[in-house]
Chains A and B, each alone.
Chain A
Amino acid sequence: MKTNDVILQTASKVVFFIIILFAIHLFFAGHYHPGGGFVGGLMTSGAIVLLLLAYDIKTVSQGFPIDYKILIGVGLLFAAGTAAGALLFNVPLLTHAFGDFNLPLFGKTSLHTAMLFDTGVYLVVIGVTMTIIQTIGESE
């Protein structure tokens, strides 16, 4: 008998967006509240793994046409770029800068370059976990 996965697939379609939203919330809350790039990245890859459980690898790679190995490189580039960017302003490596800006939509926001470093961590964590899981899943 062919098993039918309608309940799992429909539920994971709905739940995927809740998890992704919570992951983005964790990522942006990292500066003032518990959270940050690491848990945010882990939870994002957890959401993609949920889709991998409900569908197969081919369908998910059509939905996310990303090479996760390149994602690791982009994340490391973000982190190294933030670290090296401090050298341009004649300050030691990894010195961060921050300031309050008046953005058109968000109003008064304090922006910090540590956020860019966190973006690097986020991308590397997604890339590493998804590479591990997909290479294990694809090997026969």
Chain B
Amino acid sequence: MKVTVIIDAVIILFLVIGAFLSLVAAFGVIRLPDVYTRNHAASKAATLGVMSTLLAAFLYFYLIEGHFSSRILLGIAFIFITAPVSGHLISRAAYNAGVKLSDSSIRDDLKDKNKR
């Protein structure tokens, strides 16, 4: 098997994983019951999806076009740092604003701490 075929296969694999995970994140936002579970789906799956799409773009430009694009690597690191933090802040803002958990949730560890 020629090397270019393997390279193409790896790039396609990363692209398909990225697109699939972004789709899963979108379905999670539609289907899940409350803010916290939706935020969980959006911030986790979409982060990994975007990261693998960027990795596919990086591999394409590096292995096929011969151009080492360091700003894509920087973008991967940046998304890896910032997306979970933004998810955490959105969830905390929702909790402090008094958004209710869904009815099927049975446990709220922060409930007693907020009363103090």
Residues of A whose CB lies within 8 Å of any CB of B are 1, 3, 7-8, 11, 14-15, 18, 22, 25
Q: Are A1 and B116 in contact (CB under 8 A)?
A: yes
Residues of B whose CB lies within 8 Å of any CB of A are 71, 74, 77-78, 81-82, 85, 88-89, 92, 96, 113-114, 116
Quick one: given A1-B114, A22-B71, are A11 and B85 in contact (CB under 8 Å)? yes
Quick one: given A7-B88, A8-B89, are A15 and B113 in contact (CB under 8 Å)? no
Q: Are A18 and B77 in contact (CB under 8 A)?
A: yes
Q: Are A15 and B82 in contact (CB under 8 A)?
A: yes
Q: How far is the CA of A3 from the CA of B96 in the complex (A)?
A: 9
CB distance from B19 to the nearest CB of A (A): 26
Partner of A7, one of B77, B85, B116: B85
Partner of B85, one of A8, A18, A25: A8
CB distance from A14 to the nearest CB of B (A): 6
What residues of chain A lie closer than 8 Å to B81, measured between beta carbons? 11, 14-15, 18
Q: How far is the CA of A33 from the CA of B77 in the complex (A)?
A: 22
Q: How far is the CA of A100 from the CA of B26 in the complex (A)?
A: 52
Partner of B74, one of A3, A11, A14, A22: A22
Q: How far is the CA of A22 from the CA of B74 in the complex (A)?
A: 9
What residues of chain B lie closer than 8 Å to A8, measured between beta carbons? 85, 89
Q: How far is the CA of A7 from the CA of B116 in the complex (A)?
A: 22
What residues of chain A lie closer than 8 Å to B113, measured between beta carbons? 1
CB distance from A100 to the nearest CB of B (A): 24
What residues of chain B lie closer than 8 Å to A25, measured between beta carbons? 71
Closest chain B residue to A5 by CB distance?
B89
Partner of A18, one of B74, B89, B114, B116: B74
Closest chain A residue to B88 by CB distance?
A7
Q: Which 3 A-B pairs have the closest CB atoms?
A: A11-B85, A1-B114, A18-B78
Q: How far is the CA of A72 from the CA of B78 in the complex (A)?
A: 30
What residues of chain B lie closer than 8 Å to A15, measured between beta carbons? 78, 81-82
Q: How far is the CA of A64 from the CA of B74 in the complex (A)?
A: 25
CB distance from B85 to the nearest CB of A (A): 4
Q: How far is the CA of A72 from the CA of B47 in the complex (A)?
A: 38
